[in-house]
Structures are given as structure tokens and as C-alpha cells.
A and B are shown apart, each in its own frame.
Chain A
Amino acid sequence: MQEENAHKPNITLNGITAVTGLVMGIARIYTRGNININPDPVDEARLPDEKKKFRQARKTVGMTMERLSDFADSRNDSDTRDIMNAQYEILNDPELETRVYQLIDQKNFRAEKAIYDAFQHYIDLIKSTNKSFLVTRLSDLHDMRDRLILNVQQLAVIASFGKDAVMVSEDVSPVEVITFARNGVRGIICTAGGLTSHASIIANAMGIPMIIGAKSVLRTVQDGDTIILDGYGQNVIVRPDDETSSSYTRVIKRQKEEDKFLRHVIDKPAETLCGTRIALQANIDFEDEVLNIDKYRAEGIGLLRTDTLLMNAGPLTMDRSRQEDFCQTAYSGSGSGMVTVRLLDVGGDKLLNIKHKEANPFLGWRGVRILLDRRELLQSQLEAICRVAGRYPGRTRILVPMISNLEEFLEVKKELADMQELLEKRGVPVDRNAKLGIMVEVPSVALQIRQFAPHVDFFSIGTNDLTQYTLAVDRGNNLIASLYQPMHPAVLTFISMTVKAGEEFDIPVAVCGELASDPFAALVLTGLGVRELSMTPRLIPKVKQAVRLHDLEEIKSVSRKVLECNNRSERETIRMEWREAYDLKLKEERSKINTL
């Protein structure tokens, strides 16, 4: 049957939406090919490009070295750590670089040939020593060589795709997503992949619609076919017929108009009809995204994830100066807004392709639990943050993830005070008013929120983890996907308890999970009393529009209804009723704007 499908028009395949959106384009089948070396020399003029390819490949391979997993691995496994350290040094070897450049400059070699020969020089030398303690361990060199060459070739392949490309692949790595984004790829479709994978987080940040788990897509699609990625319908349409394409073309056109329409709210305040202000803040993962803070007028950064830095850092450590640079970029790119820096939140869903296994990673060694076991990592993070905070007094919030006990928080608080004192002694200015707060994501914390309140400066609710811990539902598990309900009354009750404690103790409460970026959910949260919502910046205008077209009483009544309803279908009915009313409001608003 699959064979028959290979040429049929208009085939719809189901998948799971990892990043929502709707695009139509040309399918490009993406595979990680085999190594093959082209020995032909290139023109003199192309030599600088070949050198650049080598540098880019080295950077990319450095990022893909899966430091996260090896970091976790290395707790007890010193062998793995040693291999990682050695591979890292091989990659950054200054003599290797010189040799590659010489081969390019003097022999006009392509990057892949120069890399191959440069490595071969060392491999031959080591072999000729006949020392078995070295010769038996040449695999590290082969491995690094092949990874660099593969990467050079991948870059060339991706760059050759047009701007209308929709990538179809078995799986993609975070780095591949970044490479796709830089080349203007329209969408990504994978046969495998988990919802919480790092690749989909990056695709979301970059605004590339992505569908995963489209199991038979590779057997159905041919390279060059027209393909539709429908993130709203959770499906993929291969070789759409004329009728299908024209109806989707209309939807895409409407979407573009919608985006254009939303631009009118960008410079307006985020306040309800009755004037209640909501701070709409940015979730930021990468330096590339910092520009979006100003573009979408985010009020500061509600969540600066530092996890991605670990991928780029040296083994076992996070390079402090890189952390400092990242923070510096974030502060300088966010006007006078607050910057909420979350300490490393790895483990569980952030570990991709892990070799380190725990029976229950989500209940395991992650977040603050890792930081307290690895003090040097915690201290290097605090030092980097404190140094930058000192340059921007009054703008810093430090967020501690995965707190399940008060002791953990107090321990971090002490480390922060110690670090500030140390830096002051060294004459480095620090901000003694930097705020220290916790992620509310573990039910025990939400239940005992009043015990935490006297000690913390702010609360930030992570709805993704709070939902999965409260409902005992792994959101990456397809079999129980329907049980993952962030708007479940139990979850909303925890959020409401946190808001009330915040009001009682006069502590800000923010929500930084993906939930905040859905206009309906954002209103429900607002109705519960949340006044700070943090999300991917490009989604801010949509939420702002919804906030601006309601008054607080209306919003509160929706929240109350949702809080009281006992099942998913009732909740869907409430959402649909709201949507209908909201669509009318939008229509009215649109005609107002058009007559202006």
C-alpha cells in the first residue's frame, strides 16, 4: 500500500504538531549522508569560503557534542568524560587548524579534502609509532574527522535548497534546526521525535512550523513534491490537488493578513478595556532571539534560559565568559525591562540522545538538584549573572528551577550572598537588590506556597512541568496525550493558590510556560490574577490583542467557569463560546482599523 501511495495525489498523513503554523512549499528530503570526499581543487576565489566552511563545521560539531548528556553521564563515568575532553581538544587543536588552512591555501583543496588530509597526517604518524596504547585508540580521531566532513557536506546541501523548502527527515538535531532557520526553511516534518525535544523548542523560538511523528511521510513523499504542513490540523498533505492547494492558499493568505493586522497593537499598551496592565514578557533561549524583544515590544525578559549555553561550553563546565556575554546581550537588548535569568534547568526533557539513563528522569537528577551537587557550576552561573547585574542595577531576577524543598532554595540564596560578597571584595560592582525566586512546578511547592513566600522575591510558574507533575502525565507520551491538560482545575487551583500567596506577601507572580502564549489560556490566567505572562516574543501581539479587547470582569467570569468545569469537553465548549464572541470583537476591531 505504501508503494501505491508513492505517486498518488492529495495524501493526508497524521502527525503531532510540535510548532504550530501552516505552510506550503516544496518537500526536500533531508538525510545525513555518507562521507565522500571530492578531491578536485577549487578556484582561487572560493578558498576563503572553504575555510569558512571548516570554521562553521567546527562550531557546529562543538555544539552537537551533546555536552548535556555527557555532563550527566560523567557523574560516575570518568571514561566518557575523558573521551569528551579529548574530542573537545582535538576539535580545537591549533595545529590542526593551521594544517587545514595550509592545505586549502596551498593546494586549493575543498574543506572536506583538507580536513581529511589534515587528520590523515596525524593518523599516519600515530600508526607509524606502532605503540598499541595509541593505535588502538584512533577511533576518536576518525570520529571527529568524519563528523567535521559530514557537517561541511550538510551545510552545502541545506544551502542549496530554495526558500520554499519544507524539510522532510527522520529526525533533526538542534543544530540542524538552527542551520535550517538561517537558510529560510519554511517548515520541518519528522517521522520521529518527542514533543519536548530540544529541536522543537528551537524550531518554536525560530518560528518554523514543525510536525513530528508523521510516520509514513518518508515512504510517501518524493523530493520536489508540493507539500502542505498544517500544524492546526496536525497533518501533512502530500501532492495536494488543485482544490486543496487553492483552499490552503486562501487560508495562508488570510493568515498573512492577520499577522499584518496584529501589527497595529504592537505599540499599544498591554491592558484590558478597563485599564488593568498585564506585563507581556519574552522567553529567550538564544542570542539570535534577542532582537525579537524590541521587535515585538516585550516588557523585559520573563525567562532567559541558560541551558543552551551548556551545549556550547567546554565539557563539564560552562564557560563563564560565554554566560556573561549571553547575559550582556540579553540586558542590552531589552531596554529597561527586568531580566529573569533561570539557572541551568537540564535533566529530564532537556537531555536529548542521552546515554545517561535514569528510571524516571523527570523525577530525577535535574535543575537545582544538579546545581547543588555541582557547586562549581552553580557558582560559575551566579558569578556570570552577578557581574552583569552589577552593570544594570535594579533589573535582575534570578530564577531557581526544580525546587521541591525550602532548604534547596535557602542553600542557593546563601551561595548568591557569598558570591556577591566575594565579588565586592574584588572590587566588582554587584546589585545587592537582585531578586531571587523559584519556579513553581512541583505540586508540593504549590501546596506549601505560603511557607516559601516569606523567603523568596518572586514566583514563576512553569505550566508545562506543573501540569505533568500534578496530573502524573508525561506530555511526551503519545498514548496519554489527551490526559495532558494544562487547564485542568487541579493545575489552575495550584496557580490560583500561588497568586493568592503572592498577593498576601506582595510578591510578583509570573507564568512562563507555553500556556501563556495561547490567547484563551492567557485570559484565564489573567482572570486568576496573574499579571506577568512570559512567552516566545513573536506570540506577544496575539495575546496583547486578546487582553485589549476584554475587560477584567469578563475575563474573570471565563476563569471562574473554567475553574469549575469538570471535564475536557465542557472546557472545550467554554473555549468555543469564548472564541465565537472574540471573533466578533476582532471583526469589529478590524473594521475600525480599516476605516481609520
Chain B
Amino acid sequence: MPSLPTISEKDEARAAASDAGAPEGSFDAPTASAHDEATIAYVTSLGDDALILGQRLSEWCGHAPALEVDLSLANMGLDLIGQATNWLGLAARHDERYANADALAFHRDVLDFRNCLLVEQPNGDFAQTMARQLLFSTWQHLLLERLAGASDEAIAGIAAKSVKEVAYHRELSHDWVVRLGDGTEESKRRMAAGLDWCWRFIPELFEVTEELEALVQRGIAVDPRSFEEEYRAALAATLEEATLDAPAEQRPILGGRRGHHSEHLGHLLAVMQYLPRTYPEAKW
């Protein structure tokens, strides 16, 4: 599959020209903050998190441990695919390389995906899926609560809409981790293994690059370190209720936000992108 066309000097010149050409203060002129590359990258990372996790959850459809659980997993998947559509749609509106959210979802290669490593981890068994969900949804919930008050209206709007969905994901995954942790011997062992698998990807959620730091300064992004303590406390509370010990701290694995992923993402994309890539001229 072809990787992305890089932005040529010609493109850059064109972009600069179009910027210069926009009359200052014109009606509906996009704000400068929504236009710049760093903001687009941030919004894309939020969209990629939702997209990849939504894709993973949809793999469960028809195979869950009970019919009711099948419906729950599908609901979460649908919420996340909806969120991805909104975030990536917003990113595409400000990125002339991509016509729409679909172009971003289906026509980028691994190096351009900015999701965290946690969400691309395989489903494993139901315990691993719930461990991943708890770790991610708790983080996403705390983030979106704050992002709903961001200075950029479009970002704040999507965050405010998504936060209600994610509050439920967080609650449901908490409920399951407690039941599996404090269930049978087998479920305890599996739950511990699921958490252990996901634990090394937590630090990435709180990584702050220079780029992100700058966005935080401008009030566009939220500094995840501002809720790291609350996050750790929430996880500790869930684990205590689940009668589980926290996994030993592990060497953090980083890179997703810069396009350096696990081996799993390439396979996920190969499946997800196969149709639009095979028939680039087709509409669906």
C-alpha cells in the first residue's frame, strides 16, 4: 500500500498563499488555532484512539460470552466509531490533504496513525478486553471532561458530546473488572493477566511532547498530567474492589503518538482498509 504523499514545497507554497489570501476577520473565517498542524495532529490522535478501539470492539460482534454482553460491546464500538467520525471529520476540514473522515481512516498508513498503543492491543480474552477498556475509558473520560471546556469550540463540542458515552464505558468496564477479579480463581488469573498485558502502555497516555505542551499553553489541549493522580487513584479503587493487586510497574512502551506502533496495528489496518485501498476509484 502506498504511504502518504508527503507535503511538497509546492503544496506548502499553496497553503501559504491561501492563508495570505483569506481576508482578515471575514465571516466564518476559521480561527488560526483550528488551522495549524499541531492542532490537527491532536484532533487526529483523539480520532485515531476512538477509531482503533472501535474497530477492535467490533471484532467481538457475534462472539461475546453472552448475548447481553455482545450488545454492550457493540454499543461501545458504535459510540467510538461515532466519535472517530466526528474527530476525524474535524481534522479533515482543516487538512486539505484529506477530503473527509473516511480519507483519514482508510488512506493513511501506519506511520501516520497517532493513536496510543493501548487501543491497538488485541482483544485477547474478555478479561484483556475489559482491562484495556478500563485503562483507556478512565483516561478518556477524565480527558474529555476537561476538554469539554477547551477554548476551541469545535473541540469542546465533540468532547462534551462524547463524555457522556465514555462515562458509561468507564462504568461498565469497572463493573466487569470487579466481577472478574473477584469471581472465580480462573477469572482472577485471567483478569490479572489482562491487566498485566496492558499496564506498560499507561505511561504513554500521560506523555507530554513539546507539541502538546504548546497546545496546552494555548488552551486547545488538556495536559493529561493534570489528572494523572486522579487516574491512578481511580484504577487503585477499582483494583481494590476487584481484590486484585496492581501489576508491577513495567518499562513504559511509547511511540504511538509519533506513528511508531506495535506490530498489531498494521494487521488491523490491512483488514480495515482493504476495500477502499483495493478499489480507490469506488464509492460505497
A and B together in one complex: no
